[in-house]
Amino acid sequence: MKLTIVGCSGSFPGPSSPASCYLVTANDGERDWRILLDLGSGALGVLQRYVDLSDIDGVLLSHLHPDHCMDLTGLHIAVHWDPNGWTAGRIPVWGPAATKKRITIALDMEPPTDLGEDFEFHEWAAEEPVELGPFRFTAYRARHPIAEAYALRVECTEPDGAGGVMRRVLTYSGDTDSCAGLVEAARECDLFLCEAAYHEGRDDAIDGVHLTGLRAGQAAHDADAKRLLLTHLPVWNDANRSVAEAQEAYGGPIAVAVAGVHYTV
């Protein structure tokens, strides 16, 4: 399973990265499958460096804040108005219950666009697994100031090249503060892609919104995650400070997500 960081800037696009969007690719022995974890502000353009839009097999939205979902409006335009005719069929989208309504309002078309023509919408049911190609993904309730927010656990089974199979687990925190659902989503995962939008001493008194590096490290420790990859750092954050905070609670490998970098899970 390969993870490509399309965008990782926290809360709004930065000068070197769009907002949250992560491309996950795996092979089932017959073909490559490609899913997106979030499709935030500014991500759609950069995404096309790595994948043809017609090859997207699914979009998984952690929640409906613009920096995590708003470029679904652009993807709709790409699908609906392709002058050559879109032949890939409807793109499956998993998200909170209000996803279709949220994107319809953002498009502000008159008469309202029927997004069901282009997307196959599915609502998250917490802790109920969904299977797609070689992927099995499960949403866990997170803690963020919006009606529904989820951490996403992505499990993948691929051929190992020797006649067997290998299983890998990637967990994506979405946006969240510390909570039991986050730890369960990351339990013994191979790579924990975890937000760290806040700093200790500056933001740690704010409850129920985001993690600090320390809180992210504590979640990784509690979940026995094998690797921690910090993401969703706003442009005003010091990445070294985030890592140092995480190291106070977690003794495993820690890195900071960088747009354009690929990781093997």
Write down the pLDDT at residue 23: 99
Q: At what angle do helices 72-80 and 99-107 cross, to 10 degrees?
A: 70
Confidence of residue 120 (pLDDT cuts 50, 70, 90): very high
Write down the pLDDT at residue 159: 85
Give the CA-trace dihedral at 219, 220, 225, 227, to 10 degrees.
Answer: 150
| Arithmetic mean of pLDDT, 196-225 | 97
Tens of pLDDT, residue by residue over 55-84, are 999 999 999 999 999 999 999 999 999 999
Confidence of residue 113 (pLDDT cuts 50, 70, 90): confident
Q: By mean pLDDT, which of 13-17, 18-22, 81-85 is the weakest?
A: 81-85
d(CA 131, CA 117): 22
**Averaged confidence pLDDT in the chain:** 97
Write down the pLDDT at residue 112: 85
Answer whether residue 263 shows pLDDT above 90: yes
Tens of pLDDT, residue by residue over 192-204, are 999 999 999 999 9
Q: Where are the domains of the chain?
A: 2-264
Q: Which of 182, 157, 183, 152 is nearest to 170 (CA)?
A: 152
Contact residues for 187 (Cβ-Cβ < 8 A; gap 6+): 223, 224
Answer whether residue 163 shows pLDDT above 90: no
Tens of pLDDT, residue by residue over 236-261, are 999 999 999 999 999 999 999 999 99
Q: Which CATH number fits domain 2-264: 1.10.3720.10, 3.90.1150.10, 3.40.50.800, 3.60.15.10?
A: 3.60.15.10
| Arithmetic mean of pLDDT, 118-147 | 98
> Percent of the chain beyond pLDDT 90?
95
Write down the pLDDT at residue 82: 94
Answer whether residue 227 shows pLDDT above 90: yes
Distances (CA, A) of 211 to 57, 249, 251: 30, 13, 18
